[in-house]
Amino acid sequence: MIVFAAFWLLPMARLVSVGASGPRGPAAYLAIVTDANYFASLVSTVTLSIGVTLATLVVAGIAGMFLQRNDFPGRAIVVSLLTFPLAFPGVVIGFMVIMLAGRQGLIGTVTDALFGSKLVFAYSIAGLFAGYLYFSIPRVILTVMAAVEKLDRALEEAARSLGATPWQVLRDVVLPGLRPALISAGAICFATSMGAFGTAFTLATNINVLPITIYTEFTNYANFSIAAALSLVLGVITWAALAVARTLAGSTVAAAA
């Protein structure tokens, strides 16, 4: 009986995937991937995702390592604050970006006061970038902190005993040690950025990321087959990225994926 309940899910999942692949014409599917517009959309999404991933890894790497290794008054609060945004839906994040960098945003006000002209970038690719960064950083920071905690301090001390400066220790011991975690966190970050919808939707940019393209195809042009095909491609890419993350990090991913 329990297994039956389990099997209820299986058809569900199966149907979901069947539903996605049903309406598309097989030949059209391939053409779509090579069509200029869609391809451009794919490329810009991938580029954005890669950029966000790299930036997040650096930012979260520095902050995460610092937080894990140092104690100071208010540390717990900082860590909590940094991880709250995990639950925000994309729309809220888009809104946050508008708050910071929109026409009445904080940054605009500050630059206006300092330089006399308002810096407004919420509705450009920079705004999108900031939004993606916003939801990626908390995720990666947690993974980084967990990984840093597992590092063997004796290795760093050994390197120091041999004369290595802090930079050399970082390069030769710490980063190699963090590599699996960084790769898996990066893959998750990439996958999430690829599939992000709410943020782009709220920021209503004319940068076409793939999820928006899919959405437009579906709702505005009723191009079901294209929408389905594109989302399949997207699904495959994100699934592949997560699979990479899983194989590289084994059980760690179960805790962070």
Partner 1 sequence: MTTSSTPHPPRIRSAPSPRSRGEGRDEGHSRRFYAQLAFTVLVCAFLVVPVVLSVLAGLSQNFFVGVKSGLTLRWVGQVWSLYSGTIFLSLALALECLAATLVLGVPIAYVLARRPGRMARLFEELLVLPVAVPGLATALALILLYGGWRGFRASSLFILVGHVVFTLPFMVRSVLAVMAAMDLVTLEEAAASLGAGFFKRFFGVIVPNARYGILAGALMVVTLSVGEFNITWMLHTPLTKTIPVGLADAYASLRLEIGSAYTIVFFVMIVPLLVAMQWLSRERAPALAGRK
Partner 2 sequence: MSAEGRPEREFRPPGSSEVAKPRAWGDHNDAASVRLAECAKTFADGTRALLPLNLDIQAGETVVFLGPSGCGKTTLLRIIAGLAQPDAGGRVFFGDDDVTARPIERRNVGMVFQSYALFPNMTVAENVAYGLRVRRIRGDERRRQAAKLLDMMHLAGLGDRRVDQLSGGQRQRVALARALAVKPRVLLLDEPLTALDAKLRESLRVDIDRLLRSLGVTAVYVTHDQAEAMALGDRVAVMSHGRVEQIGAPQDIYYRPASAFVADFIGTMNRVSGQRDGASLRFPGGMLRLPGHAMAADHAMFRPQDARIVEPGAGALTGRVAAAFFLGSMTRVVVDLPGEQTIVIDTVERRSFVNGEAIGVDVDADALVILES
The item of partner 2, partner 1, none sharing an interface with residue 134, based on CB under 5 to 8 Å by kind, is: partner 1
With vertex at residue 209, the alpha carbon angle to CA 208 and CA 210, rounded to the nearest 5 degrees, is 115
Contacts of 213 (CB under 8 A, 6+ apart): 37, 38, 41, 230
Q: Contact between 76 and partner 1 (CB under 8 A)?
A: yes
Segment 122 to 161, residues that bind partner 2, using CB under 8 A: 152, 154-155, 157-161
- End-to-end alpha-carbon separation of the chain, Å? 30
Burial class for 5, CB neighbours closer than 10 Å (0-12, 13-18, 19+): exposed
Sole residue written with tokens 């980063």 = 175
Question: Per the structure block, which two tokens stand in for 135?
Answer: 């939801």
Segment 136 to 195, residues that bind partner 1, using CB under 8 A: 137-139, 142, 145-146, 149, 153, 166, 188, 191-192, 194-195
The item of partner 1, partner 2, none sharing an interface with residue 184, based on CB under 5 to 8 Å by kind, is: none
Binding mask 170-209 for partner 2 (x = CB under 8 A): --xx--xx--------------------------------
Nearer to partner 1, 180 or 235 (CB): 235
Q: Which of 105, 108, 82, 83 is nearest to 94 (CA)?
A: 105
Q: Contact between 250 and partner 1 (CB under 8 A)?
A: no
The enclosing H or E element of 19 equals helix 2-21
Shortest Cβ distance from residue 154 to partner 2 (Å)? 4
Hey, what's the torsion of the CAs at 99, 101, 105, 108, to 10 degrees? 170
The item of partner 1, partner 2, none sharing an interface with residue 196, based on CB under 5 to 8 Å by kind, is: partner 1
The item of partner 1, partner 2, none sharing an interface with residue 93, based on CB under 5 to 8 Å by kind, is: partner 1
Q: Contact between 83 and partner 1 (CB under 8 A)?
A: yes
With CB under 8 A as the contact rule, the residue among 164, 170, 183, 256 that binds partner 2 is: 164
Q: Which of 97, 92, 128 is nearest to 205 (CA)?
A: 128
The item of partner 2, partner 1, none sharing an interface with residue 158, based on CB under 5 to 8 Å by kind, is: partner 2
Residue ranges binding partner 2 (CB under 8 A): 152, 154-155, 157-165, 168, 172-173, 176-177
